Chain A
Amino acid sequence: MLDVIEAPTETQFEFITFSAGEQSFCLEITQIREIRRWTPVTKLPHTPDDVLGVMNLRGAVIPIFDLAARFGLGTTPDNERNVVIVAAAGGTTIGLLVESVSEILSVDKSAIQETPDIKSEAARQAILGVISVGENMVRVVNLDAVLDNEMGGAV
């Protein structure tokens, strides 16, 4: 799983950490295009709950997902601190609604641990690995998995 983000020459990785559904997640910084304040989106009919709608990002129509709902952690409550992380993977751009963005984390490759062997296949798909920060465990989100399951409803 880890080799997705493996780069042969660099061993230092930078992640942006954020919280969704009261859990800590992070995404590799190179996948993130921008972080913007939550603005009301245009709802789409006949879509699962984790699809909030579409937003105008400088002329591109991008779908916004509620990351917590996507991971089955319940919908993100309305809050002023909510932000949308605009991320791109393989030609598609999506927005992820999260509760808040915390910090930039710079870690060694060796600091990323493999996802513990948990029962849920879906969770293992969605999490590339975990990083231990102080007392917290930060989950590395597999953006591809989020995109892959885009049509299939909540993970």
Chain B
Amino acid sequence: MSNSSIRDTFFEECEELLEALVEGLSAMEENAEDMDVVNAVFRAVHSIKGGAGAFALDRLVNFAHTFETVMDKVRSHELSVDESLMRLFHRSGDQLADLVEAARDEREPNAESEAAILKELDTYLGDADKSDDFAFDAVTLDFDAGPVPIDLSEPEPVMRHFDIRFQPTPALYSNGHEPLLLFDALAELGTLSVQANLDRLPEFDAFDPNDAVIDWRLSLETSEDETVLHEVFEFVDALCTLDISVREEGDEPPTSAVLPEPPAQEPETDAEPASPSLVPPPSSEPKPAAQQSAAQQSAAREEPRGPRPTLRVDLERVDRLINTVGELIINQAMISQRIEELELPAVAHLTNELEAYKLLARDIQEGVMAIRAQPVKPLFQRMSRIVREASEATGKKAKLVTVGDSTEVDKTVIERLADPLTHMVRNAVDHGLESPQKRREAGKDPTGSIRLSASHRSGSVFIEIADDGAGLNRARILEKAIEKGLVAPDAELSEQEVDNLLFLPGFSTAAEVSSLSGRGVGMDVVKNAVSALGGRVSISSVPGSGTTFTIVLPLTLAVMDGFVISIADQTMVIPIASIIETIRPNSKDLHCIGTNGQVISVRGAYVPIVDVARNLGLTRERAPIGTGVLLLVSTEGQGLTALRVGGIHDQRQVVIKSLESNYGAIPGVSAATILGDGKIALILDPDELVKLNPGAPFLPPAPSPRMELRHA
């Protein structure tokens, strides 16, 4: 393992630790007295410091140390957490993240903010703490790195006697615990002898099989700590009366300890869940191996209850797997098609098997897709920092509330959503929320709240950014749009239409350009980013009570539902999501405009018709009026449009294959897919399609919107 890969692992872990840190800090905000949370935060900082020490990242160590020392004071109740300290902690957390990032990229971190925060942190420290030098740290770090090996190489030779009184309650049995197993675990720790106390055993007639009448006295000779013994009983703690006492060396062992033979068997054993006779004779001497494993076990158990075990896998491997599974789906479709072509008699069981195969393939696909899915939590957590920074910069008070942060979304979506979301959250603080004074006047809590929520709904992911501010000032938006020449001065717009003006390029409403938002890159960037992911953004706003932006995204980028259509002599696919309705044109609804234009009347409105084959340059002739099928789509560029296609053949889920990886972007085509017969079908992009110049022989391929985004 090379040094650099260890380093990489460290930074990966740092990310997790920072995540835990942010989470802990926000939990502290709820309840600063919860020592578990404080400890978790402390541990996170400490672990970062430990790792950083190993890589001689002195600045990081230095900062983490100061942070940790203040945290330690909180831990030891020397300091109480108030609002300003909490804010400092948040900023320290941010700074720590910056330092980690700077160390990872081998950049110079921002020394100014670091010094400022260090100074503030120092004010919380007494003089004694300041003199703390870091040589001392190095020692703790080393110890951090390997507590387990130390335990193993130096097993404490001191053997001690423990007397244990164990009296289970009936609940212990009904919860499925088995005293025998507990005794087994104890026997592994050292020499154990067990004595059952049958005094309370009733007469046979009065015996209740559900009652617990036996209690035990155990004597254990072991080198282990008392805490290890307690751990054995960890899960039954509340279900029994447990008394563990240490007998000092040299004490006379009580008589019970030398009673290895099982006590007399009770007659009604069958009914009793654990009979003493089942207790194995204790091992005569402690086995080093058993001891070791016990030591390991105890070491493992001492670990804080961390997240569920996970596996780090190279993303490329996952993508390869996804690709192969995509193949499987296509292959399955091909086999189905072939079998259909054979026209076997209906009695053939093949159809059942085929159906099972189909379901299995879908299952596998869903499972594999789930690997790529990640919770939005880290993304949301990052936003808490944005809210903090934005509120500080604007002098407003804001808190972030996240809902549904365990909602899982495709990894790519999460990555590409980071920028738009940052922008929207900043906007929400900057433009959405009012100043504390205005809020107070309006009778609201001076601290504004930004609510970030994620949820799954009918195959889509919904992400909402809601503020409880003043709502959109529609009059101002309209005024601004007219001023900028984005709409005609006499335009009559509905509320919805006014709201949507925000998405026009170059629109910014903040009266003064603040350092935060209003830099010209506005909501149009957000909209483009979201639509590049196959999603859409919408706004709803209630004056006085806030604005909500809703982003709707497809669940996965790898599969989509589409109509299989024919265009000229080719088979293509069009995303179902973009289609509003399909129309089989009635010749009386079709009208010509000029020499080339055609429109169709749809419930009284005239909608332009775009001939897909001509726009793609596949044919020069215009399809005779009244043929084919029209697909009504809503496009960004020209609103409602009817796309004329040859016909609709099928509706199916298709696996999206990028064209860009091996060739490049083609106007009007978003990607390709492979159909059941193994042929490639192009997936159309209606928005781009209508922009194309019909009949143009060759246009240089425009850079794809996705490419633009990557640089944005």
Contact = CB atoms under 8 A, between A and B. Distances in A.
B674 A59 contact: yes
A59 B325 CA distance: 10
A61 B616 contact: no
B128 to A, nearest CB: 59
A60 B662 contact: yes
A62 B696 contact: no
A59 B323 contact: yes
Given A44-B669, A45-B618, A54 B678 contact: no
Given A45-B617, A56-B680, A61 B664 contact: no
Contacts of A94: 662-663
B668 interface: yes
B663 A63 contact: yes
A8 B465 CA distance: 59
A93 interface: yes
Interface residues of B, number: 33
Dominant SS among interface residues on chain B? loop
Contacts of A55: 680
A92 interface: yes
Interface stretch (B221-229, B342-350, B653-661): B653-661
Contacts of B658: 61
Interface string A30-51: 0000000000011111111001
Contacts of A14: none
A4 interface: no
A59 B330 contact: yes
Contacts of A45: 616-618, 666-669, 682
Contact of A58 (B327, B617, B661, B700): B327
Range of interface residues on A (Cβ < 8 Å): 20 to 34
A61 B659 contact: yes
A46 B662 contact: no
Nearest to B667: A46
Nearest to B666: A44
Nearest to B679: A42
A48 B699 CA distance: 9
Contacts of B700: 151
A42 B617 CA distance: 14
A56 B662 contact: no
B664 A42 contact: no
B479 to A, nearest CB: 42
Contact of A46 (B323, B570, B696): B696
Nearest to A51: B663
Contacts of B668: 45-46
Contacts of B637: none
Contacts of A60: 657, 662
A3 to B, nearest CB: 26
B432 interface: no
A40 B661 CA distance: 21
Contact of A59 (B326, B616, B664, B692): B326
B673 to A, nearest CB: 9
Interface string A75-98: 000000000000000001110000
9 contacts: A42-B682, A44-B663, A45-B669, A54-B663, A54-B672, A56-B674, A56-B679, A61-B657, A62-B662
Interface of A: 41-48, 51, 54-56, 58-63, 92-94, 150-151
Interface of B: 323-324, 326-327, 330, 570, 616-618, 657-659, 661-664, 666-669, 672, 674, 678-682, 692, 696, 698-701
- The 10 closest A-B CB pairs, nearest first, are A45-B616, A63-B663, A42-B680, A59-B327, A61-B657, A61-B672, A54-B680, A92-B662, A62-B662, A56-B680
